[in-house]
Amino acid sequence: MKYNKAGTIITIAGVLALSMSGCSSENTAEDLLPNDLGFAYSQVPAQSYVTTEESTNGSSFALLQNDNSVVAILGGSSSCPPTIESITKDDTTVNINLKSYGDVACTMDFTYAGWQITSVATNYSFVGKTINTCIDNACNALPVK
């Protein structure tokens, strides 16, 4: 086996370039994770949306960005963070279905996870909709600001 130092460096540089090409502080349409019901979603920095009052009372909420985009700020444990598994909808409700951690022991600390959710379906608007978070089919309405 021949060792080609120049080829190895080029290969490593290529791998680094490919792995870093997805790094960005802003989400683009390609960064969002589409689902089969016409939504795309990705994590966003939650703390930029949380006020001091909200951080002390630990409430989750949704911020309407425009007719077809909402940011969900969800509170939970840092060891079992709120993670979207799927999104479902009907004419009046959007359900954000979160990962269930079952019997896993989660830490008692509190942190926020932020999720940008965008409707990529034609003519679907978040305006006037009830937005729920659901774990194991138990749902709670998020206040929309």
Count Cα neighbours of 93 within 13 Å in the Cβ-side half-sphere: 11
| pLDDT tops 80 at residue 4 | no
Q: Which residues contact 109 (CB under 8 A, 6 or more apart)?
A: 77, 78, 79
Determine the pLDDT at residue 55: 72
Q: Which tokens in the block code for residue 64?
A: 């309407």
Nearest alpha-carbon partner for 124 in 97, 94, 144: 94
Domain positions in the chain are: 28-141
39: left (phi over 0), alpha (psi -120 to 50) or beta: beta
Sheet with 111-119, side-by-side order of all strands: 33-34, 39-44, 111-119, 69-76, 61-66
Q: Which tokens in the block code for residue 20?
A: 């870093």
| pLDDT tops 50 at residue 11 | no
The model's pTM: 0.72
Q: Which tokens in the block code for residue 65?
A: 């960005």
Pairing of strands 130-135, 138-141: antiparallel
The overall average pLDDT reported for the chain is 78
Contact 125, 68 (CB under 8 A): yes
Least trusted range by pLDDT, from 13-17, 47-51, 108-112, 118-122: 13-17
